Amino acid sequence: MTLSLQQSRCSTIILLSLTACFTTTALLGTADIADARQRRHYHSVSRTVLPLVPPIPQAKPGSEPSPEAPKPDEKPAEDIQKADPEMTPVPEQKPVPDTKDVKPAEKPDVKTGEQLGPNLPAGQKAGAEDSSKPDDEDTAEKPDPTTSPDRVYQNACPALMNGDVQGEIIPPLSEGTCGERSPLKITAIGKENPVKFAAPIITNCTMAGTLAGWIGDVQKAAQKSFGAGIESISTGSDYQCRKVNNGNKGRVSEHAFANALDIMSFKFTNGKTTELGSGWKGTPEEQEFWRSIHKSSCEQFMTVIGPEGDAAHQGNLHLDLGCHGKACKARICQ
């Protein structure tokens, strides 16, 4: 019986030991499982946790602004003024003027018949010249009201202005096809020791200037042939509305345009005289003189006709600046 109790105790002890062993193993396995589950949960959470610094969003392809036209950042108006002083300043609100003490503007005293013009600046009287205007035609000297209206359309003559000829500009000439817009009445030619005409002549400016140069050669011829200077010149036709040689047919004479002059005779400073009609075949001195001025005249005028040209010029030397040839370069010397 004792043996049976001992065996029973031993069996109980073994059973308890095995139970404890199994319990321990189970507890350890449960702990391992829990630990494994915890590790899996940690790894899964670590993969989904957001980073501490959020990433900068990137622009989508094709949405970037063009580099050729970048859009500038908007700045306040004050910064724009400071950065670029040449830019238009930001307008400031103007103060409202106090109209309590402002007196109504006085109406100008306009006389009957006067033309109303623009408002004049403060302090400037009506009719006063505005010094701010440029020096141009608008501010040029106004013509004399007593002058003929046609005078403002005439041309100035350099020969008259420079003193190469003495005389004055006269009103325009107009007789049908004849006339001259800016004729001159000449009393003398030559700047140094001017030679007077026995009677004033009417000619155009170009003819007057050519005569002023021509008289220098005439003075040299007079000194050579007569040992004296020219005192005066007697002339025939100057301006005259007619046809060539006073004919009824044919072309209009250059006299009709104040572009011709007929020379008749000369008076010298020593008292002597010579006329073309008698002097062309007169004394040796006269022949030398007239042929000398005939030659020099052909070098300065476009048309020269003397006693050997035709019967109409036996007593006058015709000089003009008419056009000959298509290019107006041909000369007639007779």
CA 90 – CA 140 distance, rounded (Å): 43
CA distances from 257 to 65, 99, 132, 254 (A): 79, 71, 44, 5
Label residue 178 exposed, middle or buried (CB < 10 Å: 0-12, 13-18, 19+). middle
Q: In the chain, pLDDT over 90 holds for what percent of residues? A: 51
CA distances from 47 to 43, 240, 325 (A): 6, 123, 112
pLDDT at 86: 43
CA 66 – CA 86 distance, rounded (Å): 28
> What would you measure as the largest C-alpha separation in the chain, in angstroms?
210
Work out whether strand 332-333 and strand 303-305 pair parallel, antiparallel, or are unpaired.
Answer: parallel
pLDDT at 246: 81
Mean predicted confidence (pLDDT) in 54-60: 54
pLDDT at 16: 75
At 175-193, the pLDDT tens digits run 999 999 999 999 999 998 8
At 68-89, the pLDDT tens digits run 544 545 444 444 444 444 444 4
Would you kindly state where each structural domain of the chain is located, as residue ranges? 151-333
**Which has the minimum average pLDDT: 102-106, 171-175, 286-290, 291-295?**
102-106
At 133-189, the pLDDT tens digits run 444 444 455 556 566 665 678 999 999 999 999 999 999 999 999 999 999 999 999
CA 165 – CA 288 distance, rounded (Å): 27
Q: Which amino acid is at 156?
A: A
Contact between 322 and 260 under an 8 Å Cβ cutoff? The reply is yes
pLDDT at 58: 59
Contact between 159 and 190 under an 8 Å Cβ cutoff? The reply is no
CA distances from 304 to 208, 263, 317 (A): 16, 11, 7
At 210-228, the pLDDT tens digits run 999 999 999 999 999 999 9
39-48 exposure pattern, b = at least 16 Cβ within 10 A, e = fewer = eeeeeeeeee
- How many CB atoms are closer than 10 A to CB 80? 15
Element (H, E) at 285: helix 284-298
What rounded mean pLDDT belongs to the chain? 75
> pLDDT category, 14, cuts 50, 70, 90?
confident
Tokens of 167: 């005389």
Work out whether strand 178-180 and strand 195-203 pair parallel, antiparallel, or are unpaired.
Answer: unpaired
What are the beta bridge partners of residue 275? 265
CA distances from 24 to 10, 12, 36, 52, 334 (A): 21, 18, 18, 44, 161
Q: Is the pLDDT confidence value at 97 over 60?
A: no
pLDDT at 283: 96
